[in-house]
Structure 1
Amino acid sequence: MTPLPDFSQPLWFAFATLVVFLVVVGRYLLIAGLFHGIFYVWFPQRWQQRKINSRGYKSGQFKNEVKWSMITAFLFAVAGSLMLVLWQQGYTKVYTNIYDYPLWWMPISLFIALLAHETYYYWLHRWMHHPKVFRIVHKVHHDSNITSPWTAFSFHPLEGLLQALFLPILLLILPMHLYVLVIQLTIMTFSSVINHLDIEVYPKGFHKNFVGRWLIGATHHSLHHKQFKYNYGLYFTFWDKWKHTESPLYERLFEEKTATAVVDQEKQQATT
């Protein structure tokens, strides 16, 4: 096998950053565009109902969200290249041979990474809502008071940097197979886009079953953008439940949104 170039060299580091940037942007555009298209083209009743209920988007919102997301993607790309350099020099715990650790460690490491990320983000998020910090770091994201699929990576560069640092630091101490890392990054993108849809994709009653009560979705996170003082989680609800920061409006709004979705689906089936 041909040895990899030394990515600590400036030109190779720049090349790696460009490649990772294109991957991050492509993944963002693909997934956000997919969900935008699903509801705008295939389920226009749901999209129109959402716009009526929320009074629509701000002028130029999508353009601004994509602009900030490109900056975030660049920061993620630099972090990815830094992680590559650290891996080449033997500082990270990323491994490529699936037999370096027991096979059962692969799903366990993913679960640990998700829990660690959830914990980091919950407390970071609460800190970013301190008034002095909010104006500098987090306000850009909350400029999207009514979220869209394109809000997913719409961050001020300081917030983007704080989010980009998590995985490189985690991988200094947590052994993770390369494929598991890819799965983690994919989950992160899908989760972020779904959470910012403002259209509930989960079925009626999902918020009360054993799995659904612990997962964050569009209804849960939309309340954070409207109320600011609740629902700080990223993937899971357990920190919000434990620290009593889950919105008291969540269950009722979820039931309202999913009941409307059922009616819209029945109307659509009746006209086809």
Structure 2
Amino acid sequence: MSDPVSKDWNYHPDLPLADPSIFVWPPRAGFLARWFARNWLSLSERVMMVLLAAALWLWVYPDFSVAATWQWGWVLHVWLANLALVFICAGALHWYFFMRKGQGMRLKFDKRDMAKGNALWSFRNQVHDNMYWSLGSGVFFLTAFQVVTMWLMANGYALTITPMSNPIWFVLSLILLPIWSAFHFYWVHRLLHVPLLYTHVHSLHHRNVNVGPWSGFSMHPVEHLLYCSSLCIHWIVPSDPILVLFHVIYLGPGAAMTHTGYEDLLIKDKRRLALGTFYHQLHHRYYECNYGNQEMPWDRWFGTFHNGTPEGTAETRARKKQMYS
């Protein structure tokens, strides 16, 4: 297969970027059916996350009932499980794409490798810096929101359901949680681009102009606090342990998947698993554009969409100059 290349990118999809959002008017029945089939009726990354969440609930994480009382044992158990989860997922992706070079440069957006020997990074190493923030602050805040959620559910302060007692709402919740996360991420992200917060907080994540699996969850503690607050939805909307764990996986390991720097995982020259998006890669390079993701059309509605073309780059640079003038 031949990959589109340019002077700016090792690879990019067809440009200008299409609009894959399900929030278009009037609704398109055929498009919605294909979107649902692609995301939920195939072995997609979301279905894999749900299966992983169910397996972890059965065999790894403590039963939510133990969270009725605060004890360091179960809290430590959750933290260790989250630490292992993030380490294995991000580590496996990094090993395959950047150490083993399992896919070479196929479908890799940026031409560069991970940075080394640069004082910009803690330990003068991009990967080690990213690991430090992901496994330290990232796992801490992911665990903090999870254990509070477990305590609320165990004590009846947060309403709970089960797949058997309310199967329709359970399935709807699985579909809606990524959409909620995209909504939450966009507005938190816009807040983090306020100059004061960007300079002192979000700039740490944006050191990753060229991203890798460890970059996705590498953030300042304040950003981790805001990002992981997406889990608060389970405090007010009836939920289930599998839904909570799916959400935890979506926020933690999911960030590693979307920041691999590659568009898809290739197996025998066929795209088998969607990973990073060029949409978000543009944000890491040009900053003041594409704050959300493609599922929610906020960037298109608010004029911050970069379609990947040179004209889109010129518009983004002009907007950035105006913002900081």
Q: Same fold (TM over 0.5)?
A: yes
CA distance in 1, matches of 2:238, 2:227: 20
Superposed CA offset, 1:90-122 (max 9, x none):
111233x33332x12212112222222211110
- Could you tell me which residue of structure 2 aligns to residue 123 of structure 1? 187
Q: How far does residue 72 in structure 1 lie from its aligned partner after superposition?
A: 1.3
CA distance in 2, matches of 1:129, 1:232: 9
1:185 counterpart letter in structure 2: V
Q: How far does residue 171 in structure 1 lie from its aligned partner after superposition?
A: 1.1
- Could you tell me which residue of structure 1 aligns to residue 227 of structure 2? 163
Residue number among 209, 217, 222 corresponding to 2:276 in the alignment? 217
1:62 counterpart letter in structure 2: V
Superposed CA offset, 1:208-263 (max 9, x none):
xxxxxxx983322121111001111257342223323221316999xxxxxxxxxx
CA distance in 1, matches of 2:260, 2:284: 12
Structure 1 residues 193, 82: closer, same or farther in 2, change over 3 A?
same
Residue number among 76, 86, 95 corresponding to 1:28 in the alignment? 86
Q: How far does residue 23 in structure 1 lie from its aligned partner after superposition?
A: 1.6
Residues 208-247 of structure 1: matches in 2 within 5 Å? 217-234=276-293, 236-247=295-306
- Could you tell me which residue of structure 2 aligns to residue 75 of structure 1? 141
CA distance in 2, matches of 1:75, 1:194: 19
- Could you tell me which residue of structure 2 aligns to residue 104 of structure 1? 168
Conserved 8 A contact 2:67-2:74: no
- Could you tell me which residue of structure 1 aligns to residue 237 of structure 2? 174
TM-score (norm 1): 0.75
Residue number among 142, 151, 155 corresponding to 1:89 in the alignment? 155
TM-score (norm 2): 0.64
- Could you tell me which residue of structure 1 aligns to residue 177 of structure 2? 113
SS of the aligned residue for 1:71 comes to helix
1:241 counterpart letter in structure 2: R
Identity %: 23
1:21 counterpart letter in structure 2: W
Unaligned segments of structure 1, at least 5 residues: 204-214, 254-272
Q: How far does residue 155 in structure 1 lie from its aligned partner after superposition?
A: 0.9
- Could you tell me which residue of structure 1 aligns to residue 127 of structure 2? 62
Which structure's residues are more often helix, by fraction?
1
- Could you tell me which residue of structure 2 aligns to residue 201 of structure 1? 264
CA distance in 2, matches of 1:135, 1:120: 21
- Could you tell me which residue of structure 1 aligns to residue 255 of structure 2? 192
Structure 1 residues 18, 149: closer, same or farther in 2, change over 3 A?
same
Structure 1 residues 171, 39: closer, same or farther in 2, change over 3 A?
same
Q: How far does residue 37 in structure 1 lie from its aligned partner after superposition?
A: 2.4
- Could you tell me which residue of structure 1 aligns to residue 76 of structure 2? 18
